[in-house]
Amino acid sequence: MKSLDSLLRELPFFAGLDEEHARLIAGCARNCRFEAGQYLFHEGDPADEFFLIREGRVALDVVAPGQDPIVFSTLGEGEVVGASWLVPPYRWMFDARAASPTHALGIDAACLRRKCEEDHDFGYLMMKRFLPVFVKRLHATRLQMFDVYRRG
């Protein structure tokens, strides 16, 4: 059975991570499995654990009163689920649901934030990995909003 730090380093997101930092993150991590349809988290809940998908697919949705949930993004293998753990008030802004059987690494957000505070070099390294992911998502969201396929 593989250790958590070796599982972490297999993820493209953590590629090139040195052993010490992998151990630091692994100390906040756990292995999780979600059945299709099971929620990873709900809007409004404390953002105390985020996820890295090892296998499977996760749908992000928002619910409006009287309507079915609207899926606005799906995430796949190697992708990070959840950004609200990084910024106060640390509450989820949407629901995350497994769209297929999903294996993920859950990272205790408070634990990782504390380690980032204690070691700013490590914290900066983490920011350099997370920030591009979220900037890319922002760009993708803009493209989605442009509605580029609408009738001319």
Partner 1 sequence: MAVSRQNALVPALYRVGEVYRELPDTVTLRLVPESGRRPPCAPGQFNMLYAFGVGEIAISISGEAADEGFLHTVREVGAVSTALARLAVGASVGVRGPYGTGWPAAQGADVIFVAGGLGLAPLRPAIRRVLAERRHYGRVAILFGTRHPAEMLYRQELEQWRRRLDVDVSVTVDHADTLWHGNVGVVPALIPRATFDPNNSVALVCGPEVMMRFTVSALREAGVPDERVYLSMERNMKCATGLCGHCQFGPEFICMTGPVMRFDRIASLFSTREA
Options 7, 22, 59, 126; binder of partner 1; rule CB under 8 A: 59
Binding part of the chain for partner 1, among 1-9, 71-79, 82-90, 119-127 by CB under 8 A, reads: 71-79
Options 43, 77, 108, 119; binder of partner 1; rule CB under 8 A: 77
Q: How far is the CB of 61 from partner 1 (least distance, A)?
A: 9
**130-149 binders of partner 1 (CB under 8 A):** 139-140, 143-144, 146-149
Binding part of the chain for partner 1, among 65-73, 89-97, 102-110, 114-122 by CB under 8 A, reads: 65-73
What's the angle, vertex CA 34, arms to CA 50 and CA 9, rounded to 5? 50
